[in-house]
Structure 1
Amino acid sequence: MSQQQSTLKQAGTVEASEALRLEQEKVEQIVDALNADLANVYVLYHQLRKHHWNVEGAEFRDLHLFLGEAAEEAEAAADELAERVQALGGVPHASAATLESEATVEPEDEDVYDIRTSLANDVDVYGEIIESARSHIELTEGLGDHASAQMLREQLVELEDAVHHIEHYLEDDTLVTESAMQ
């Protein structure tokens, strides 16, 4: 690690960009909302990765690939959120401890569960993130930040699409026999 110890920008601070023409107070609210979304999406990312690593069973290959892609989409969304926070003049949450403490969604614990339980837990996290995204779209629109609102709308479409696919995996029609699921 470098010996240089000069802090360029303190975590938790916001210096609204004059070029974006948004008031400091508004930018602070938007940065807080986007940082909460960032923390939530990272919880989702790690949960999806966990399920990607641990999935087993007759539908292993499809679920393994789907969960890997869903995790990559979550990671891309987190990157987009962090870059928007930075562009607005904020400091994106970055440490594991901060992301965990600032997330409003509850992650699954460390245990490994059957895939139906894991996917149901994913649906719960997706649902909470979707609700938050909708709320933050309204917030950012109301504060005049149409760019953040548009970004959140685009992410909302992806979130809804992913959870819709998970719902299909949870349908009763499956290759696994009922006796094998008990």
Structure 2
Amino acid sequence: MNTQKKVRQTAGTVDENPLRLETEKAEQIIDALNADLADAYVLYHQLHKHHWNVEGAEFLDIHVFLQEVYEDVEDAADELAERLQALGGVPHASMATLASEASVEPEDEDVYDIRTSLANDLEMMGDIIESYRQHIELAAGLGDHATAEMLREQLETIEEHAHHVHHYLENDTLVLESATN
């Protein structure tokens, strides 16, 4: 690691922004976006874990679906970080900070059956959905309509994924249980 350091902006500070949003308003939105960023990375890692560990008759469909979802979450995280940087903030970037600042609680390291894993994903998605709704209102109320719109688009995507996870958890299936009579 390079020992020569020149800090351009200290984490947790807010600089003036070219978007002409008052610093006090930008600070509130940056805090919300950093919380969303932390939550996104916790969800990303949990989805990735389930993508790696899924087994069973529906393996391929769920494996592919989870990859699509975690890639969407990663894209959303990138968009969140770039937006809060444009607002004059510093995106959370270290794993320790992301983990400590997340409002969602990840699964432990154990591997669970896919039904349990998907139920845990759905629970986390629901918490994130509720947070996004609050942050959309915050951004709109502070006059940052572009951030509110970005969050609305991300909300729509995560709601769609949550809806699909809910369908995976339904009892209807083409897989027959073995008869043990």
Pick the TM interval, shorter chain.
over 0.9
TM-score (norm 1): 0.95
Superposed CA deviations along residues 39-94 of structure 1, whole A, max 9, x for unmatched, are 00111000000000000000000000000110100000000000001100000000
Query: What's 2:161 paired with?
Result: 162
Taking the aligned partners of 1:103 and 1:179, their CA distance within structure 2 comes to 42
Across the two proteins, how many residue pairs are aligned to each other?
Answer: 179
**Which structure dedicates a bigger proportion of its chain to helix?**
1
Task: Extract unaligned runs of 5+ from structure 1.
Answer: none
CA RMSD of aligned residues (A): 1.1
Query: Residue 73 of structure 1 aligns with which residue?
Result: 72
SS of the aligned residue for 1:76 comes to: helix
Instruction: Report the secondary structure of 2:164's partner residue.
Output: helix
Q: Is the 8 A contact 1:84 1:148 kept in 2?
A: yes
1:119 is aligned to 118
Report the alpha carbon displacement of residue 178 of structure 1 after superposing the two structures with TM: 4.5
**Normalising by the residue count of structure 2, what TM-score does the alignment of the two structures yield?**
0.96
Stretches (4+) displaced over 4 A: none
Distance 1:106 1:178 in 2: 33
| Structure 1 partner of 2:3 | 3
Instruction: Name 1:15's counterpart in structure 2.
Output: 15
Question: 8 Å contact 1:59–1:175 — kept in the other structure?
Answer: no
Structure-to-structure mapping, 1:133-144, within 5 angstroms? 133-144=132-143
Instruction: Report the CA distance between 1:118 and its aligned residue.
Output: 0.2
Q: Which moved more, 1:116-125 or 1:169-178?
A: 169-178
Aligned equivalents of 1:178 and 1:88: distance in 2?
54
Asked whether 1:93 is paired with 2:92, we answer yes
Partner amino acid, structure 2, of 1:8: R
For 1:137, give the aligned amino acid: I
Which segments of 5 or more consecutive residues in structure 2 lack a partner in the other structure?
Answer: none
Q: What is the percent sequence identity of the aligned residues?
A: 71
